[in-house]
Each structure stands twice: as C-alpha cells, then as structure tokens.
C-alpha cells in the first residue's frame, strides 16, 4: 500500500504513540500485578506469622509450634523458613524451622525497615544458599516472659515466576493488539486521507484546464474545504473579469483626450509648442498602451484553468502569414507534436507567436521553420516553440538590443519595434522566457518557452 508524505507522517506518528502507550500500559500493569502477587504472598506469610505469635504467647506444651500446615518448613533448605528469637538475653535464644538447618534469617529491623500499621515488616532478604526470600517479621512483648522477634520467610521465586508468566502473556497480548491497532491506523490514514487526495487531484485538473470546479461529494469534515475552494475560484474569476472591465474603461477614457490633444497639435504644424505637445502625447499614448496591456495580460494570467492547444494556433498563424507575405513567396514549414498544450489563454499565445512569426517572415529570404515540442516531466513540463528564418540574422549585440521596447535596427521594415518586447513581457508573466540565437537555416532563431499543460 503506497503512502504519500502526509499519510506516512501521520501513520508514523500514530504508530509511535500507539507503541508508546502500549509500552507504558504494559509497564504499569506489570508493576500492579507484581504488587498484587506480593500482597497475596504477604497474606500467606501473615497467616503463618500469626500462628507462630499465638504459639509463642500461649504455649500449651513443649511442642513448638504445634502445626503450620506447610510441609516445606520441615524440608531442609526448601526456601520456606520460620524463626523465633528471644531478645534481651546475653545470648539470644533461637528457635527455627527444621528447613533452616544450621542457618538463620536476617532481621529487617536491622536494615531500618519501618513497621506497618499492624506492627509487621516486609521485605526481600537473601537466605541460605543465596536464596531470594520474601520475609515478614514482627516484634512481640510478653512482659515478664521477655520480648521476641518472630519471622516467616517464603521462596520469592514463586513471585518472580508468577510475574514472569504474566509478563509473557501481557507481551503476546499487547503484540497482537499493537499489530491490530497499527493495521487499523494504516487503513484509517489511507482511507481517511482519500478525500484530500481527491481534492488534490481536482485542483490539479483545474490548474491543467480539464475542470473548472471541485466536483463530487465529500465527507462532512472535508466538504467545507471543497466549498470554500470553489468559492475562492469563483471569486478569482469575478475579480479578473472586473479587472478586465476596468482596464477597458480606462483605455477608452484615456485614449479620447490623448487623440484630441494630438489632433489639435497636428492642426498647427509650424508651432513649436504644438510639436512638443504632439511628441509628448505620443509618448503618453505609448506608455498608456503599454501599461494597460500589461494589466490586461496580468489579469488573464491569473485565471485558473486556461489551456490552449498549440498546434492549431501555429497552423492558423502560418496560413495567415503566408497570405500576408504571398508577394514574397515565403514558405512556412510547421513541425509540432499534436499533444503540445500551453497552460494559458489562446489570445496570449496568438499574440506572442504572431509577433515572432510575422517578424521571421519580414526578415526571411524564402523560408520560415516553426517547431513546437514538449520538455521536462511532472510539474516542470514546458512548451518550447522554435521560430527560425533564413534571413541575415543578428549579432549577439543586436539580439540584446531588439528585445528592448521600441528598438528597431532597420527603419525600412514596417512596425513599431514593440513586438519582441511584448513577447518577452507576456512570456515572463507566464513564467517563461524568450531567447534569440542563430538559426540552423542561416538566420535568426527565436525560442519561446512557456508552461505546458498536461
């Protein structure tokens, strides 16, 4: 099952939290179970302790103790021991179970362990043969009969074995639970993020021009995001449309006064002031046209989802240019892949290619070659359009000069000198560029690079 980066991060984060929670829970449960086993073991030792205390306090005969009900106290070094020590004498009197053989039990009181509410102390000690023992002891005061320390110890291996068996069962159970939780998390992340993947695909389709809105039903958690995204797309289109309207209105508002000024100045051919007004009005008209054109282009570029087939535009322009330059018999050759698509509006592509092809036809001796191809992969794909002519070409310095607005190298050719600069500005607004170089067929090559649509 494949994961994208977001799904992988969510899965790893959920997995880490799951493992951490299970680990902490396992440690807590193991600790609680050990405490439970120790309390149960201490209660068992407490029964033997109380029996010994009763026999010490009120012996009925010389047999001591009468009965503890545990044969292991009679088996040497069995791990189960009792010991009664009379305190206060120069040499403490000691009575012990047969299982202690010649050994003895250490005292918890000597280790500083405090007595509990019932007067007894519990703890772990090392017994004969280095056995790990759980020991319970208690001091009793019989007045004139003296003070005694009564102790009972049991083999702590029983506690260890019970806890170890519980830990094994807990480990197996939690391992199965972790696997189930991880699988559940994996499917939840995978299918829970599926609507987001649909939104990503839908936005890619809008960007490529194959769709205009996010379509389809989404879960209640994702539906507001899809709804707001569609609203944003609609608002973007409305803003662009209003910008186009304002640009058109401004163009009409400015062109009329400028035309009046130019006409009035032209009516006084000998007046120096009129000549100056005419000159400056022409500059103003050029600047207004330039900035209005940039605003119009920028507004169009912001439209989401515009896609243009490149081949039909090239073929239509080639036919038009052949008719315009038919008196010079210019042959226009077109080589283009059918799948080449430009991510932008058709009018902008026509304006860029129209300027390049018209310029090539003006300077060509007899031939113009146009080639369109697609380069790159994924989101980095671009359309490369090569326009070559067999004319005189340009030097590197001249290529740099003609890209500037209004620069013309030969006044004998018609035009305003704005064509290449318009192409450069349009291409840059789309994130592309224009490069001039020597053409393989002898003249100038104009290479236009633009974003491609899938």
- pLDDT tens sequence for the chain (454 residues): 444 666 677 777 878 888 889 999 999 999 999 999 999 999 999 999 888 888 887 766 555 666 677 888 889 988 999 998 888 766 666 788 888 888 888 888 888 888 888 888 999 999 888 899 999 999 888 877 788 889 999 999 999 999 999 999 999 999 999 889 888 888 877 777 777 778 877 787 776 666 777 877 777 777 888 888 888 888 877 777 777 677 667 766 777 777 777 787 787 777 788 778 877 877 777 777 766 666 666 555 555 557 889 999 999 999 999 888 888 888 999 998 778 889 888 888 898 999 999 989 998 999 999 999 988 776 678 999 999 999 888 888 887 776 554 444 443 344 434 567 778 888 888 888 999 999 999 899 999 999 888 7
Q: Does this chain's domain 7-162 share its CATH topology with 308-451?
A: no
If one counts every other C-beta atom within 10 angstroms of the C-beta of residue 328, the result is 11
pLDDT of residue 403: 57
With H, G, I as helix, E, B as strand and everything else as coil, classify residue 389. Answer: strand
In angstroms, rounded to a whole number, what is the distance separating the alpha carbons of residues 37 and 44? Answer: 11
| Candidate CATH numbers 1.20.272, 3.40.630, 1.25.40, 3.30.450; the one for domain 7-162 | 3.30.450
With H, G, I as helix, E, B as strand and everything else as coil, classify residue 446. Answer: strand
Break the chain into its structural domains and give their ranges: 7-162, 223-301, 308-451
pLDDT of residue 408: 43
- Give the helix/strand (H/E) hosting 224: helix 223-266
pLDDT of residue 260: 77
pLDDT of residue 223: 81
pLDDT of residue 64: 62
pTM of structure: 0.48
How far, in Å, are 77, 100, 157, 452 from residue 47 at the CA level? 21, 19, 19, 88
| Candidate CATH numbers 3.40.50.720, 3.30.565.10, 3.30.70.980, 3.40.50.10490; the one for domain 308-451 | 3.30.565.10
If one counts every other C-beta atom within 10 angstroms of the C-beta of residue 405, the result is 15
């Amino acid at each position: 099952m494949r994961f994208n980066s977001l799904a992988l991060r969510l899965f790893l984060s959920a997995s880490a939290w799951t493992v951490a929670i299970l680990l902490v829970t396992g440690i807590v449960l193991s600790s609680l179970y050990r405490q439970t086993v120790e309390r149960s073991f201490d209660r068992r030792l407490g029964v033997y302790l109380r029996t010994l205390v009763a026999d010490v306090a009120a012996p009925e005969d010389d047999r001591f103790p009468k009965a503890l009900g545990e044969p292991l106290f009679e088996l040497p070094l069995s791990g189960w021991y009792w010991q009664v020590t009379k305190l206060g004498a120069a040499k403490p009197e000691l009575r012990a179970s047969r299982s202690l053989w010649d050994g003895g039990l250490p005292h918890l009181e000597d280790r500083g362990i405090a007595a509990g509410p019932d007067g007894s102390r519990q703890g772990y000690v090392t017994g004969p043969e280095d056995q790990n023992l759980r020991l319970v002891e208690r001091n009793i005061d019989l007045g004139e009969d003296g003070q005694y320390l009564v102790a009972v110890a049991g083999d702590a291996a029983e506690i260890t074995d019970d806890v170890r068996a519980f830990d094994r069962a807990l480990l197996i159970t939690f391992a199965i639970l972790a696997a189930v939780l991880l699988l559940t998390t994996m499917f939840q992340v995978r299918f829970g993020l599926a609507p987001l993947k649909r939104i990503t695909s839908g936005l890619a389709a809008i960007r490529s021009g194959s769709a205009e809105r996010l379509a389809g039903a989404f879960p209640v958690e994702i539906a507001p995001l899809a709804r707001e995204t569609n609203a944003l797309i609609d608002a973007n289109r409305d803003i662009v449309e209003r910008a186009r309207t304002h640009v058109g209105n401004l163009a009409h508002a400015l062109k009329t006064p400028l035309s009046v000024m130019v006409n009035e100045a032209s009516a006084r051919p000998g007046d120096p002031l009129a000549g100056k007004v005419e000159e400056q009005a022409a500059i103003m008209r050029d600047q207004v046209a330039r900035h209005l054109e940039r605003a119009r282009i920028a507004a169009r570029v912001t439209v989401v989802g515009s896609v243009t087939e490149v081949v039909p535009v090239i073929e239509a322009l080639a036919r038009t240019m052949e008719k315009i330059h038919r008196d010079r018999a210019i042959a226009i050759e077109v080589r283009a892949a059918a799948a080449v698509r430009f991510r932008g509006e058709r009018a902008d592509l026509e304006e860029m290619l129209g300027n390049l092809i018209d310029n090539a036809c003006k300077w060509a001796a007899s031939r113009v070659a146009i080639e369109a191809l697609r380069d790159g992969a994924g989101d980095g794909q671009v359309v490369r359009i090569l326009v070559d002519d067999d004319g005189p070409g340009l030097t590197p310095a001249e290529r740099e000069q003609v890209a500037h607005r209004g620069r013309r190298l030969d006044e004998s050719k018609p035009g305003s000198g704005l064509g290449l600069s318009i192409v450069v500005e349009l291409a840059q607004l789309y994130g592309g560029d224009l490069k001039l170089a020597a053409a393989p067929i002898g003249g100038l090559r104009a290479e236009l690079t633009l974003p491609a649509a899938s």
